[in-house]
A and B are shown apart, each in its own frame.
Chain A
Amino acid sequence: MMISQLARRLSIYLAIFLVFLVISHLLLKLYYIRNYSAENAEKLLSSVSSYKFFSDDPCATSIVGDPIDAGLQYVKINLHCDRSSTITNTLDLRAVKQPTYRGLIQLLGNINGFRVQISDSEIDSLGGLKKSEGMRWRCFTDHQHEVEITNFNLALKEQQTVDCFYNFDDSAVNQYYDNH
Chain B
Amino acid sequence: MILLLINIMTITNAIRIWILIIILVGAYILRQHNYAQIPFPGESMDEYSFGWAGLSLIRLGYPIASSGIAGYKTYDYRYINVDQIYRTTAKGNAFSINYPWFDHPPLLGLVTGGYAYLKGAQVFEDTQISLIRKPMIFIGILSVSLLFLYLKSIFGYLEAFIGSIIYAASPLAVIGSRMVQAENLLIPLFLGSLILLHQYIQRKNQLLLWLAAGVAGFALLVKFSAISIILSGILLLMFSSKDRKTALVDCLTFALISLSFILIFLSYGAVYDIQQFITIFVSNGSRFYGAGANALADLITTTKITRFLTDGWFLSGWIAVFMLLFKSASDRSVNFITIPVFSYLVVFLLFGSESYGWYRFPFQPFLFAAIAYVVASAVRNYQNYLPAFLLLLLPVGVTISRLITINEFQDYASIWRWVIGVLLVVYISLTFVKINSKIKRLLPVLLFGLFAAGLVLSIEYFYKITVDYWRGTA
> Which residues in A have some Cβ–Cβ distance to B below 8 Å?
1, 3, 6, 9-10, 13-14, 17, 21, 24-25, 28-29, 31-37, 40-41, 43-52, 61-70, 90-92, 94-95, 107, 110-113
Whether B92 lies near A6 (C-beta < 8 A) is no
**Contacts A29-B271, A35-B61, A36-B60 given: A21-B263 contact, CB under 8 Å?**
yes
Interfacial chain B residues near A50, Cβ < 8 Å: 122, 126
Stretch in B81-89, B367-375, B414-422 with 4+ CB within 8 Å of A: B81-89
Kindly state the separation between the CA atoms of A17 and B267 in the bound complex, as whole angstroms. Answer: 12
Interfacial chain B residues near A43, Cβ < 8 Å: 123
User: What are 17 A-to-B residue pairs whose CB atoms are below 8 Å?
Assistant: A21-B264, A35-B60, A36-B62, A44-B56, A46-B78, A48-B125, A49-B82, A49-B125, A62-B87, A64-B90, A65-B92, A66-B92, A70-B77, A94-B94, A107-B79, A112-B81, A112-B86
Residue B319 CB within 8 A of the other chain: no
Q: Residue B249 contacts which of A6, A28, A29, A113 (CB distance < 8 angstroms)?
A: A6
Kindly state the separation between the CA atoms of A33 and B87 in the bound complex, as whole angstroms. Answer: 38
Give the contact-size bracket for chain B.
35 or more
> Which residues in B have some Cβ–Cβ distance to A below 8 Å?
55-56, 59-62, 64, 76-82, 84, 86-88, 90-94, 96-97, 99, 122-126, 128, 206, 210, 249, 253, 256-257, 260, 263-264, 267-268, 270-272
Query: What distance in Å separates the Cβ of B176 from its nearest Cβ neighbour in chain A?
Result: 26
Kindly state the separation between the CA atoms of A68 and B84 in the bound complex, as whole angstroms. Answer: 19
Whether B94 lies near A28 (C-beta < 8 A) is no
Whether B271 lies near A47 (C-beta < 8 A) is no
Interfacial chain A residues near B256, Cβ < 8 Å: 10, 14
Interfacial chain A residues near B257, Cβ < 8 Å: 10, 13
Kindly state the separation between the CA atoms of A28 and B260 in the bound complex, as whole angstroms. Answer: 19
Interfacial chain A residues near B87, Cβ < 8 Å: 61-64
Interfacial chain A residues near B55, Cβ < 8 Å: 44
Q: Residue B206 contacts which of A1, A35, A41 (CB distance < 8 angstroms)?
A: A1
Interfacial chain B residues near A40, Cβ < 8 Å: 59-60
Kindly state the separation between the CA atoms of A25 and B265 in the bound complex, as whole angstroms. Answer: 10
Interfacial chain B residues near A67, Cβ < 8 Å: 92-94
* Chain A to chain B: the 9 pairs with minimum beta-carbon distance, closest first: A65-B92, A32-B61, A95-B94, A65-B91, A49-B125, A95-B77, A31-B61, A47-B123, A94-B77
Interfacial chain A residues near B80, Cβ < 8 Å: 45
Whether B92 lies near A63 (C-beta < 8 A) is yes
Whether A64 lies near B271 (C-beta < 8 A) is no
Q: Residue A49 contacts which of B62, B123, B249 (CB distance < 8 angstroms)?
A: B123
Kindly state the separation between the CA atoms of A3 and B62 in the bound complex, as whole angstroms. Answer: 42
Kindly state the separation between the CA atoms of A163 and B206 in the bound complex, as whole angstroms. Answer: 72
Kindly state the separation between the CA atoms of A46 and B23 in the bound complex, as whole angstroms. Answer: 43
Other CB < 8 Å A-B pairs besides A28-B61, A32-B61, A63-B86, 20 of them? A6-B253, A14-B260, A25-B270, A35-B60, A36-B61, A44-B56, A44-B124, A61-B87, A63-B87, A64-B87, A64-B88, A66-B92, A67-B92, A67-B94, A68-B92, A70-B93, A90-B92, A95-B77, A95-B78, A110-B79
Interfacial chain A residues near B206, Cβ < 8 Å: 1, 9
Query: What distance in Å separates the Cβ of A22 from its nearest Cβ neighbour in chain B?
Result: 8
Q: Residue A45 contacts which of B86, B90, B124 (CB distance < 8 angstroms)?
A: B124
Whether A10 lies near B249 (C-beta < 8 A) is no
Kindly state the separation between the CA atoms of A63 and B79 in the bound complex, as whole angstroms. Answer: 10
Kindly state the separation between the CA atoms of A63 and B91 in the bound complex, as whole angstroms. Answer: 8
